[in-house]
Amino acid sequence: GAVVSQHPSRVICKSGTSVKIECRSLDFQATTMFWYRQFPKQSLMLMATSNEGSKATYEQGVEKDKFLINHASLTLSTLTVTSAHPEDSSFYICSASAPRGVEFFGPGTRLTVL
């Protein structure tokens, strides 16, 4: 299947700092990428839909000023968690839509805010 990478895989930061997570589709162009959040032993929760060249669409309850998304190219989307707090600690996963709607996921980024 297609390859989607995420960087970093793990990050620990102090409360109040911002963290940027990159998501790249390595072997196909993705017009649309998705960002998810996953708490332990729970399913994936969609945070936002990221479309190349336009503003991201956020799900209800997700603060767009808190979770900044930029989709600057067909192979790269970034999620910036601004002024992170301990409650933002979670597993963040991106996905990229390949042709015909098949969605491939990245390996995830474990964020820990101290």
Q: Candidates 14-22, 65-73, 81-89, 104-112 — which segment interacts with another protein by CB under 8 A?
A: 104-112
In eight-state DSSP terms, residue 42 is S
**Residue 4: CB minimum distance to another protein, A:** 8
From candidates 6, 75, 77, 90, binder to another protein by CB under 8 A: 6
From candidates 19, 21, 24, 32, binder to another protein by CB under 8 A: 32
Which burial class, exposed, middle or buried, applies to 45 when counting CB atoms under 10 A from its CB (0-12, 13-18, 19+)? middle
Which residues are CB-contacts of 84 (< 8 A; sequence separation ≥ 6)? 13, 15, 16, 17, 18, 19, 111, 113
Cβ distance 23 to 106 under 8 Å? Answer: yes
β-partners of residue 57 are: 49
- Residues 42-101 touching another protein, rule: CB under 8 A, are 42-44, 46, 49, 51, 93, 95, 97-101
Residues that bind another protein (CB under 8 A): 1, 4, 6, 30-32, 34, 41-44, 46, 49, 51, 93, 95, 97-108, 110
